[in-house]
Structure formats: structure tokens, C-alpha cells
Amino acid sequence: MSEDVIKVEGLTKVFNGSLVAVDHINFSVKHGEIFGFLGPNGAGKTTTINMLITLLRPTEGKASILGSDIAKQNVDVRSSIGFVPQEYTADEDLTGYENILLCADLYGIPKTVSKKRGLDLLNLVDLAPFKDKRVQTYSGGMRRRLELACGLVNRPKVLFLDEPTLGLDVQTRAAIWNYVRMLKKEFGMTIFMTTHYLEEADALCDRIAIIDHGKIVVVGTPEELKESLGGDIITLAIQKDIDITELMRKIEHVVDVKKENGAYLIKSENGEVTAPLIIEALRREGHIVIRLSLTKPTLNEVYLQYTGKSLRDTEESREAVMAQRTTLGKART
Amino acid sequence: MSENGKVSKNRLHGLWALTNRELKKWYKAPIVFLLTIIQPIIWMGLLGKSMNIGAIFSSSQIPVIAFNPPLTASQLGQLNTAFQSLSSSIMTNTFGVTDYFSYMAMGMVVFVTLFTAAFSGMSVVWDRRLGFLNKVLSTPVSRSVIILSKVFSAALRSIFQAAIVVFVAIVFGLKFGTNFTVFSVFGVFAIVFLIGMGLSSLFIAINLRATRIETPQAVMNLITLPLMFASNAFVPINLMPGWLQVVAKVNPMSYTTDAVRRLMIFSNGMGKFPFSPPFDFAYVAIFAATLTTVGIILSWRFLNK
């Protein structure tokens, strides 16, 4: 088996003959990697995940998971993956434990095994004290954790997480992140996740693919992507109106100097080192620094660079997200 | 986390788990469970007792004033007796039994399965909307098992409801036929299971691709009442106009109702009915098998997109 756990070549999905949701994408996910699909709502993230977990047939192209073709060997694919959908799919009328046992039965896991494993998983996501309570009484965070536990019941080699923290509060989000990190660290699980939260992609993912209008615009580690912007930005203002561009260019790590509205925008490969050097150099020349700030590039700037729009603009309330999802859901069927 | 060797190779794995889920959703929700018990009681109490067709032929309906000179007491007594024997023979010729309540109650046994079946169509749409369907589809469970679990749970619920209707009918004064034994009840359960399978497959097949909860409701309104009226559930087929008789003789509801009546209330040699019990069972079994197969084939087609 190759090292690539997920291999995608020219994968395409067209709905109703005209709506191109995913447009000839190529990528691969390595063993033990957390791979993030980052993009705004409607970019094609869920469609891609649905094709990979064999819910949707690709219109064109192919993909394989652990060497099994998603179209031809779909039962093999289904047996070896876990899927945590973005909705709360646990049955509200059943208890948490009953839900896990139901999931286990769907994978054909014998009761003798699933009874013990179900308890272990509930322990893992800290739901053991609530195992005999109906899911109806669970909070959003508890339901999300239960979904996660259900997705792990067949001990998958590859776990698919669709928007794992959508609509969760900051604390619960951090808790989910910890579980995901633990799965990677302790079980060496390969994880494919979609998200439209930049900080989530940044905090969790080993590699990120930015997807927009059904196309992958760039793939890389968060650091690579940020570095691809050319480095940190130091914004500087001095008292006298003298051109110091040449002076700045000589300083270590500086790549570019621009003057904008009376302030200098200095791009540096290593902002922390450059900033003190700048102050020193200016003081030696007798200039007085009145303002200096250092900005590290964030994924937001990366996103802006590659898609031409800010992801923050597309972050919406949960209601708006759900409304859009309904519209998309109709288009998909 | 990589021992997967214990996964079952049985194509039907998960069938009982999913069926059990449907049943648990039903009996663990006290209000839903209570309503399924109350519904047949209300139907029987209201419809069964208000449509008292037998009362039309009671002697109190004789227009006494019409006789001139007035009848003597003994003449009136003779007329009463004659009228009663006439009315019971009319009832028996028309309905096969002397009281309409018994006739209708056995129609009700089949009628309530229609609603149970219609709800299984609704549950498909709910599972889709709530994302549960996608979750199940992402597991190696066979697509036909997803459909079969809904069909079986609806059929099992139908048996339960049939038992309640029979019980309530007995309380309200059901008159058993001379052939009735305890085993007849099991015969009723068997055919109700079959019709429950067939009807729920029908509703599931229709709603397999629906994404809006309004669809199964509209389908239910469209299908249930015509299916009921174009059958012998409440009115004998030979009282219907010719074209409706044609429909009623195709309608599997008619065969089910006929079988239930033969098992429960008809006595030997009563009534002129177009069907025979083995034919009833064969017809309903073929209906159930055909529609379940259609449902499974459609599930391969439409649950994988």
C-alpha cells in the first residue's frame, strides 16, 4: 500500500447537469495526517466529502481510500472509514449508549465486542456519566462528542469530519480540537476535515487545501501558506519626513519596503529580528521612531491572496449557514 | 485502532438494529404510543357505533300509521317477527353478518395499517432531513436493509395495532363467526403483517427521494382515503358501481379485509363473496413481495446518488 491514504484525481461533481460543485480537484492525504479542506460555504467541501465517503457518485475523475476505489469498492471504503457529519444525526429518542450500539450494528460489529467498545468510546469523549440519558437532553457540545464517538465505533483508519465545530462555542470547540489531536497522536489516525474557520484549520491541520468555487486554489502546510505571502509586515512611522527606504533595504531579512500614507510598510522574512535592528539603525542616524507595529501573516491574508476575498466576510450566523445548507441540499437531490 | 477483522460478512447485518430503532422510537415515545392505541378506539367508537346500519331494519322503523285499519297486537307481533327475519337475512346477504359493527370493526383492523404504513414514508423523509440517512449510508450496511428495516417495523406495528382493534372490538360487542378459534387471531396477524409490508413499501418507495416533509403528507392524503373507499373495508364490493368494483377487486386492502372477516366473524356458507381464503393470502403475499422488491430495487437506485 502506498503512503497516500487518500488519493484524488480529477474528481468532479456536477449537479443537475449544470451546477459544478467540485471541479477536477487533485490532492492526496498521507498516513497519519490531519488534512483540512478550507473554504467558504458552498465552495464544494461537503460535496467532496460526500463523494469520498461514497454517498455521492463522482461525475468524473476517481479517488481511492486505502487503495480501494470509492466508486467500485464502496463497501470496502465504508468499512474502513469513520464519518462524523456536520448535523446532529444521533437519534434523540434513544440514549447515548443505544446510539453507539446502533452505529456498531451498522458496521456488523458483534454485540460482545460493541458493548465494551461503546463504553470505552463514551469514556473517551467524557460522556460516560450520561450514557443512559436520552440524546434529547444533551447539549450541543455533548451531541457533537457523541457523533464523534459514533464515527469511531468501527476503529476507522481514516476519519472524515465535516465541519466538526460548526455552531459550537469557543470552549466546546477547543475540547473537540483536543479529541482530534489525541486521535492523531494516540491512534495514528488519518483525518480529513472540512472547515470554514481559519483558526481551526491553523490550529489543527498539518496540511490545508483552500477550495473556492469547486476548485483547489492552493495546498500546503499552514506555515508554508503564510510564508508564501513573503513574510511579516512591519509598519513604521518616523518624526521627520525623510526618505529612509534605502536605509531599510540594507537591514537583515528585509525583502521589500513600501511607503504608504506617510508610513513605511516593511516586509521581512523574520519580523522579530528585523524590528529591533530597524530601531537601532534609525537611532544611529538620529531619527525618532514614533510608531512601530509587527503583523504576522494569518491564514486570512493567505485566503485573501488566493481567493480575492476575506473569509471573515463569509462567516455568518448559524441561521444563515443553515438556510444556505437547505438551499444547497435541495440542489443536491 | 486498526483491527477490522470482526466485521460481519452477513449481507443483512444491521437489519434488526435498524428495525429495533424504529420500534424503540415508537414505544419509547409515550405520546406516540398512546395515540396509536387511542386512535383505533376512537375510530371504532365513533364510526363503528354511529354508522349503525342494522338499526335501519329494526321493527321500530315500521310505519304503523300506514296500515288501515290499524293492526291488532298479534298481527303487529307477527309483522315484527317477519320484519326481523327479513332484516337479518338482508344484513346477512349484504354483509355476511347480522350486525354491521362486527363487519366494520374487521374493516378497521386493515384500515389502521394504512396509517402506520403511511408514517413509514414520513420517517424516510425525516431521516433524510435530520442527516441520519447520510450517516447510515456512510456505513457498510446494505442499502436494502435500510428499506427492509422500515418495512418490518411498520408491519410489526401494524400487528400490534390490529391486536388492539380486535381487543376493542370484542369489548364493544364483536360477534365471532362459528369457525372462530384462537388460531384465527394468528391468521389475522399474519395477513396484517403482509399488508403492512406491502403498504409501507409503497409509501417508502414513493417518498424515497423526497426532501420535504410535506411530500409524504400529501401522498398520504392522496392515497389513504381512495385506498380505503375503493375496498370492502366498510361497504361490500357488490354494492359498488361496476367501475369501482373493478378497482376494489384489484385493491389488496379488499383481500386482506376479506381474509380477516373470514377468520373472525363469518360463519360457514355465509354471504356471496368473490374471494376464497387461500386466494386472499396468496394475493396479499404477492402484493407484499412485489412492493418490497420494488422498494429494494429503488433503494439501490436512489439511495446511491
Distance from C-alpha of A140 to C-alpha of A157, rounded to nearest angstrom: 26
Mean pLDDT across chain A: 86
Q: What is the pLDDT of residue A327?
A: 55
Interior angle at CA B281, CA B275 and CA B284, nearest 5: 95
Would the pLDDT of A1 be above 50? Answer: no
Q: Which residues of A touch B137 (CB under 8 A)?
A: 54-55
Interior angle at CA A179, CA A175 and CA A183, nearest 5: 170
Domain borders along chain B are 15-50+97-302, 52-95
pLDDT band at A333 (very low <50, low <70, confident <90, very high): very low
Q: What is the pLDDT of residue B4?
A: 43
Q: Which of B3, B28, B136 sits opposite A93 (nearest CB)?
A: B28
Q: What is the pLDDT of residue A49?
A: 95
Residue with the three cell numbers 452505529: A103
- Cis omega before residue B69 (within 30°)? yes
Write the DSSP string, A220-286.
E-HHHHHHTTTSEEEEEEESS----HHHHHTSTTEEEEEEETTEEEEEESSHHHHHHHHHHHHHHTT
Among A158, A247, A188, A139, smallest CA distance to A32 is for A188
Would the pLDDT of B1 be above 80? Answer: no
Which strands sit side by side in the sheet containing A19-30, from one edge to the other? A19-30, A4-15, A60-65, A68-69
Average pLDDT over residues A201-219: 92
Query: Residue B274 phi/psi, 5° resolution?
Result: -70, -10
pLDDT band at B70 (very low <50, low <70, confident <90, very high): confident
Residues β-bridged to residue A208: A36, A220
**pLDDT per residue as tens digits for the range B55-68:** 776 666 666 666 67
Number of other CB atoms surrounding residue A116 within 10 Å? 10
Average pLDDT over residues A102-121: 94
Average pLDDT over residues A120-148: 93
Cell triple for B299: 433503494
- Asked if residue B44 lies in contact with residue B108, where contact means CB atoms within 8 angstroms, the answer is yes
**pLDDT per residue as tens digits for the range B265-280:** 987 655 445 567 888 9
Collapsing DSSP states into helix, strand and coil, what is residue B211?
A: coil
The single-letter DSSP state of residue A88 is: -
Question: What are the residue ranges of CATH 3.30.70.100 in chain A?
Answer: 230-296
Would the pLDDT of B37 be above 80? Answer: no
Would the pLDDT of B206 be above 80? Answer: yes
Q: What is the pLDDT of residue B271?
A: 47
Q: What is the pLDDT of residue B136?
A: 93
- Asked if residue A68 lies in contact with residue A52, where contact means CB atoms within 8 angstroms, the answer is no
The verdict on B30 touching A (C-beta cutoff 8 Å) is no
Would the pLDDT of A117 be above 90? Answer: yes
Collapsing DSSP states into helix, strand and coil, what is residue A20?
A: strand
**pLDDT per residue as tens digits for the range A173-187:** 898 999 999 999 988
pTM here? 0.81
**pLDDT per residue as tens digits for the range A270-298:** 888 888 888 888 888 888 888 888 888 88
Q: Do A189 and B130 touch (CB under 8 A)?
A: no
Would the pLDDT of A197 be above 70? Answer: yes
> A4-226+308-332 is classed in which CATH architecture?
3-Layer(aba) Sandwich (3.40)
Number of other CB atoms surrounding residue A207 within 10 Å? 19
Q: Which residues of A touch B (CB under 8 A)?
A: 50, 53-57, 75, 78-81, 83, 85-89, 91, 93-94, 98, 101-103, 105-110, 113, 150, 152, 154-157, 187, 189, 329-330, 332-333
User: What is the assigned CATH class of domain A230-296?
Assistant: alpha beta
